[in-house]
Amino acid sequence: MIRLAWRLARPNLVSSAVLLAVVVGYAVLTNRAMTAQLRDSGLDACIASGGDCDLLAQAFSDRFNLIINSFGLLNLAPMLLGVFWGGPLVARELEQGTHRLVWTQSHGRGRWLAARLGLYLAGAVAVTAIMTEVMTWWFKPLERVQVEGDAAFGRLNSDVFDFRGIVPLAYTVFAFAVGVAAGALFKRTIPAMVATLAIYLPVKIGVLLLRERFQPPLTETYPFGTTSPRAGKGDWRIAHEVIDKAGTVTNRVSVPAVCRTLPDEAAMRACVTEQGGYRFVDTYQPVGRFWTFQLIESGIFVGLSAAVLALAVWWVVRKLA
């Protein structure tokens, strides 16, 4: 049974290995380019000295924006593993009728399902684990670019979080479980694959929207026109707002007449802050919560996976009897 399962899984494993090799090669080339740019542009030295590196960091982000976005497509990998590995796993056997021969043998449907599930799931998790290690290494140069604005690549930022730690493995297990369950229920490959997409994406997006509330966010208040004391720490900034003297959020900062005649911008900013009482307020999740958030989100997806897999096993063993 295991030998048969291995022979059936071999095309998936080989194709995934080829795709992984392409990703690794692309990651090596782009990582070298980013590391060289950090060094040659002076951004690396600026960060090390603690200087104002916003312009250099923004230039770095602009140059590699297309490459960074292209790697963002790898966020679809767990879903695709669920669609192309999990969806056809049971559905194809039921659709083609080949399950009848196996189920009439001494192995039984329970052992058949366990062998197929175990091998395919282990392969899918292994592919994701390798990809996660590659992405963790690839993000190393970006982690040094920890300034305010769009050029921040902290581990809690949504563009980075999904590629790090253990959550990619949990995503893969969930997508795979949904694919297997859909295949058992629909008994057709294409409907099972479509159902995997239709279920996985809303759940993933829903948990993403909940992520910032896994723990109560913190706030940091600091003088208007100045840099946040948390800048460069890698936090996930959820909101950046301006409040007035009364503590009310405002979208418009008025300049008092007494401040308009001041000779330089720094003096005018200080005057506006003093006269209007304007301050910045940042709502954020500190980077130190990275592993807490990883465990919470992984727990959600692993729990859902266990329930969905239990449904799939029960359906195959009992309802399809």
DSSP-assigned letters across all residues of 92-134: HHHHHTTHHHHHTSTTHHHHHHHHHHHHHHHHHHHHHHHHHHH
What percent of the chain is modeled with pLDDT above 70? 88
pLDDT band, very low/low/confident/very high, at 307 (cuts 50, 70, 90): very high
* Bridging pattern class, strands 236-243 and 279-285: antiparallel
* Cα 156 to Cα 179, 220, 237, 288, distances in angstroms: 29, 17, 9, 9
Lowest mean pLDDT among 37-51, 83-97, 142-156, 286-300: 142-156
Confidence of residue 204 (pLDDT cuts 50, 70, 90): very high
At 15 the pLDDT is 78
Helix axes 189-211, 290-314, angle to 10 degrees: 150
The least confident of 4-8, 77-81, 91-95, 234-238 is 4-8
Range with the lowest mean pLDDT among 67-81, 170-184, 267-281, 287-301? 267-281
- Of the candidates 269, 243, 271, which has an alpha carbon nearest to the alpha carbon of residue 258? 271
Mean pLDDT of 112-139: 87
- Find residue 284's DSSP bridge partners: 218, 237
List residues bridging with 237 in a β-sheet.
284
pLDDT digits (tens, 9 = 90+) for 251-281: 777 767 667 777 777 777 777 777 777 888 9
- What does the pLDDT look like over 136-165, one tens digit per residue? 898 887 777 765 544 467 788 877 899 889
CA atoms within 13 A on the CB side of 303: 7
pLDDT given for residue 150 in this prediction: 44
In the chain, where the domains are located: 2-215+289-319, 218-285
Q: At what angle do helices 108-138 and 2-40 cross, to 10 degrees?
A: 10
- Tokens for 224, please give them: 């208007």
pLDDT value of position 151: 44
Burial class (CB in 10 A: 0-12, 13-18, 19+), 194: middle
Q: What residues does 281 pair with on adjacent strands?
A: 221, 241
317 has pLDDT over 90: no
pTM of the model: 0.84
* Angstrom distance (rounded) from CA 166 to CA 173: 11
